[in-house]
Amino acid sequence: MTEPNYELTENWKAFEQAAKNIFKFSNDIIEIDKLNQTIKELQETIKQRDDEIDKRETVERALVLRFEKSAADWGKERESLETNLKSSKEAHVAQEVLHAKNAFKKAQSHAAREKEFEKERAEHAALASGYKEQLESCRAELDRMKHAIGLEEMNDNLPDDLERLAADLHKLAMKYCGMPLPDDCPVDALFIALQNSGFLGIFPRAIPISNSEESALLRAAALEAFVAKRLAEKMFRSLYPWSNPSTLEPNILEWIGDDFLETDPRKEAIFRSLIVSSDIKDGDNRKKAIMDMILDETLAVCAPMLTMPLRERQASFRMDLSKFLSNAAEVWNDAQRSYTRITAASESEDEDGMWEPRLEHDLSDSAVSEHQEGLGAAIKILFPTIYQFVGDESAVLHNGYALWSHQQLYITGTKEFQVQSSRVNSRDLDMPSNAMKRRSSVSQKGSFTPRSLSRSRMSMRGNETPRSMVGL
């Protein structure tokens, strides 16, 4: 075999062997290709990751730079804050120390003042103890002075006591003048006797003498009015019993009291209390004389009512009236020792007066008739209105009682009086001699006429002239 063929054969064999080797390693080659592909993909992925890492590292470096810058800024800010805080703490501590020093100084000053106060309190306690002893001594002296002066707080029961007096007077009047008359009572003769005694003049032309209910009520009201007027004029005066019972004009003591009342009411109260509480014999004598005067005047006016209709009742009447006057004097004496002046009014002209009607007197606004014309609506006082002066003002302490001329009782009594008066006058004209004898008999007895009573009182009182009892 030639050289070139041999070489070709050898090459061909080598090629076949190589082909066999290739076929033998074809799967490995495929696997290697796959691995290479995978490696490429991994490389690309790694490259992407590296790119991402680079980016992240870039961002991280930026963040680190920002953080470092911020940290530096925060550090500076912290240092500044710490410096400020330290300064603030030092200033605060200094301020607190200053406050503490000031508080300590104040505490020391307060403690010093407390010691001074304690010393002063001890001194004041000693002074207060002395003042208390002086005050007790002054109170005891004041009590002695008040007892000597006689001034007292006004009794809260005074209005009730006055109402009780008004009720007692009404009961007494009903008992002795408002009682039923006996069937055999000579009413016309009693009418004349009461006319002569002045009893019928208490309510002019309005008091008939009969057994009618109106007559009984009017007779009792007349006695109430008579006694009430004398209570107000003689007993219910600011300086009783040192006022003048024979006149309404004030005496020198009352003038002084009135002047005090205008300038200094407290002086008036002290002056009044000293006068009315003076416990001397002449004061008791004056009280007795005033009561006796009222008793004598009332007995003289009411004598026919106490002797003619029924058995002799003058002694019991005098005893009951005396008891009533004693109670009235006691109530009034207590009232006069108050710090405010208490006064009584029994005149219908008193514009400030307040009056109430008796329930049994039948007040009727529609009872005005022609019989009332010319009489007006004048009131007849049955119990005084009592006033209390407070400063320059006066206030009603107790309303008085009154009888009005427009009440049915008064109108009916006026009609009955006219009938009886005409009958009595006609009988007197028919029997002038008998009438003269009756008047002469009454004058000789001396029990009913105000003149004889006035003479007896004048002899008892000296130069004092009593007021008339007739024509009230």
Q: How far apart are the first and last CA of the chain?
A: 206
Instruction: Judge whether 325 lies within some domain.
Output: yes
Any idea which of 116-125, 209-218, 264-273 has the lowest mean pLDDT?
264-273
Interatomic CA distance for residues 270 and 141, integer angstroms: 16
pLDDT at 464 over 60: no
* Domain finish residue from 117, 146, 175: 146
The amino acid present at 376, given as its one-letter code, is: G
Q: What are the pLDDT digits (tens) for 360-375?
A: 886 454 444 433 444 4
Q: Which tokens sit at 30?
A: 């495929």
Instruction: Judge whether 62 lies within some domain.
Output: yes
Total residues found in the chain within this entry: 472
Q: Does 184 lie in the same domain as 108?
A: no
Three-state DSSP state, 311:
coil
Q: Residue 292's Cα: distance from chain center in Å?
A: 42
The pLDDT value recorded for residue 375 is 44
Q: What are the pLDDT digits (tens) for 65-90?
A: 888 888 888 788 878 877 887 777 77
Q: Does 203 lie in the same domain as 328?
A: yes
Q: Which tokens sit at 378?
A: 């004048």
Residue 167 pLDDT class (50, 70, 90 cuts): very high
Instruction: Judge whether 263 lies within some domain.
Output: no
Q: Residue 249's Cα: distance from chain center in Å?
A: 37
Q: Does 188 lie in the same domain as 48?
A: no
Residue 141 pLDDT class (50, 70, 90 cuts): low
Instruction: Judge whether 257 lies within some domain.
Output: no
Q: Does 141 lie in the same domain as 162?
A: no
The pLDDT value recorded for residue 72 is 81
* Domain finish residue from 90, 121, 146: 146
Interatomic CA distance for residues 438 and 221, integer angstroms: 27
Interatomic CA distance for residues 448 and 443, integer angstroms: 8
Instruction: Judge whether 444 lies within some domain.
Output: yes
pLDDT at 417 over 90: yes
For residue 89, what are the domain limits?
3-146
8 A C-beta contact, residue 340 and residue 154: yes
The burial class, CB within 10 Å (0-12 / 13-18 / 19+), for 4 is exposed
pLDDT at 152 over 80: no
Instruction: Judge whether 168 lies within some domain.
Output: yes
Q: Name the one residue in this structure whose structure tokens are 């009034």.
A: 332
Any idea which of 73-87, 103-117, 324-338 has the lowest mean pLDDT?
73-87
Q: What are the pLDDT digits (tens) for 88-98?
A: 777 877 788 88
Highest mean pLDDT among 247-256, 382-391, 410-419: 410-419
For the segment 116-131, the average pLDDT, to the nearest whole number, is: 84
8 A C-beta contact, residue 209 and residue 309: no
Q: Which tokens sit at 183?
A: 């069937």
Q: What angle do CA 357, 363, 366 make, to 5 degrees?
A: 150
Q: Which residue has the higher pLDDT, 38 or 465?
A: 38
Q: Which tokens sit at 384?
A: 């005084």
